[in-house]
Structure 1
């Protein structure tokens, strides 16, 4: 990892922006380094931006970012951040993968941000490394790269590889890097400047607790929801879910209806269909493989349920980039 025992040395940063990269993770990462320069009155950090072809890159919000050039053999920053978003699994540029391997071989620390770990994995740069990725990409990422050691934290640093889940986790990563290179006092100033009132470490959770996400406090409901999320490919029956909750099936059904407004079967089906959409968008798995990965033994049954929930077929959904797991045609009926 880059360190600066000589505090006057400049740490060079590179940002490879992939089309449709997520703006928030990028901004939350680069701004702390700018703040470190401003608050210290010293140019501790310098950076350049790259794209695949040397042209401007459009972010997820439509804003175009001008770059300093294309990623080529002359790029050799101390840290190269690969920023991606949208559907990073669709990026298959072999020339970029080769350049990333060359830069990594030269000693540069390579970091994948938000969807960036997909790019690093495709380039073969995460083999034998621990890594993380944004929770929404995790299911598809695990399917695409079953041999990788995927963790669920905010960011993972493994030698000269860094992976960061995105969102505002880039701020936490940047503050940690600044602290290591230039001391905890400057890191604390940078954090305070960005209204970071609580430190978050790499192993922190990406998502709120189930209780917070569902706005429920009953431990039986929380336990059964956790069991559902952990068993998408091989769904548990209602009796097993009730056993996890320490309740009878009838009691659990009543609690789901009262607190969630859905039955056990409806909620489980929703989770499985949302997982299916992510796999369709971010992997090359066939419709049959997606169905099986999400607990549907019959592909026709899967297609009917999918259309009822999303208003389109699985194959049409694969070709519809704007379709979100959170938009639906109505609550699914039955299990």
Structure 2
């Protein structure tokens, strides 16, 4: 058995060519994330002029898997028939909880005991965590699902970075970030020149490092240029569950509350309080639509200790109750 003293990148760099990568697909996996994981491997082989990598697509039973866009992706094998892989990546979509399966968890734990590097992209970290493999580990989770992940797996160390490497685990927050993660892996395995060449082929001008943050800056998302206003917005977004008083926010940026209020009105057309409520209500709606958290849990994650107060605020904001939104939710019921 291989030693687990090395980290994931060292293990992959030491693997014999072609480095073997398995991608485990689960129903409703996001196609963009999948392509961002697979296509850099193809491009690496093309630019290197040899088979640096080989890959295997895997499903639970060996049957094709439907992506979130409705396209069925054929696979090479089931988890029982999977050949040796140096790295296995779990690729799942928003209905990740519907794939919590004792057989899958046992398989993932067995791979870990065999010192196979385990990766997770999109909502894949939820499956690794549910299998008990990420306790005490740093892991990257999409910003939209961070509160849910923290609630479900308090023993895991969640980071807002775009991807994370901890021991024999590599986790990505999904989407285009997966391309950066794969280029990072390729650079570690076979050099930065090859990774840079792949990035250039994809018209990807900069390979983001793992300590980059996930979201666009407030300046880009809200079309603002004022640096201190952007700092206040960032602080608000980082403290949805424990809202920060305006006076505290103002002190952080060395301005008065009156100055902050004028900035919000002139740049965003609303008061700081109204903007903060918008952020919290948007997060609440997303959690109601995309998770099966209880309404009281959603209220707490969004900074409301009283479910009644949360319900009144939500109805005033959206014109419907949280229960109505939940009933229209996107999460499949088991």
1:302/1:33 CA distance change after superposition, 3 Å = same
User: What's 2:62 paired with?
Assistant: 54
Q: By how many angstroms is 1:243 displaced? A: 3.4
Is 2:99 the partner of 1:95? no
Two-structure CA RMSD over aligned residues (Å): 2.3
User: What's 2:41 paired with?
Assistant: 33
SS at match of 2:212: coil
SS at match of 1:77: coil
1:88–1:282 contact (8 Å) kept in structure 2: no
**287-296 or 242-251: which moved more?**
242-251
Aligned match for 2:144, one of 111, 115, 136: 136
User: What's 1:156 paired with?
Assistant: 164
User: What's 1:333 paired with?
Assistant: none
2:94–2:290 contact (8 Å) kept in structure 1: no
Aligned match for 2:266, one of 254, 258, 265: 258
Question: What is the rounded CA distance, in whole Å, between the counterparts of 2:278 and 2:306 in structure 1?
Answer: 17
The within-5 A match list for 1:158-307 is 158-281=166-289, 284-307=292-315
Is 2:85 the partner of 1:77? yes
Question: What is the rounded CA distance, in whole Å, between the counterparts of 1:119 and 1:3 in structure 2?
Answer: 22
Q: By how many angstroms is 1:99 displaced? A: 1.2
**14-23 or 269-278: which moved more?**
269-278
Q: Which runs of 5+ in 2 are unaligned?
A: 1-7
Question: What is the rounded CA distance, in whole Å, between the counterparts of 1:134 and 1:113 in structure 2?
Answer: 9
**215-224 or 154-163: which moved more?**
215-224
Is 2:120 the partner of 1:112? yes
1:312/1:84 CA distance change after superposition, 3 Å = farther
1:56/1:316 CA distance change after superposition, 3 Å = farther
TM-score under structure 1 length normalisation: 0.87
**68-77 or 58-67: which moved more?**
68-77
1:304/1:147 CA distance change after superposition, 3 Å = same
1:84–1:113 contact (8 Å) kept in structure 2: yes
1:88/1:312 CA distance change after superposition, 3 Å = farther
1:86/1:131 CA distance change after superposition, 3 Å = same
1:91/1:281 CA distance change after superposition, 3 Å = farther
User: What's 2:12 paired with?
Assistant: 3
Q: What is the aligned residue count?
A: 322
Q: By how many angstroms is 1:164 displaced? A: 0.8
Question: What is the rounded CA distance, in whole Å, between the counterparts of 1:16 and 1:83 in structure 2?
Answer: 6
Q: By how many angstroms is 1:110 displaced? A: 0.6
Question: What is the rounded CA distance, in whole Å, between the counterparts of 1:289 and 1:174 in structure 2?
Answer: 35
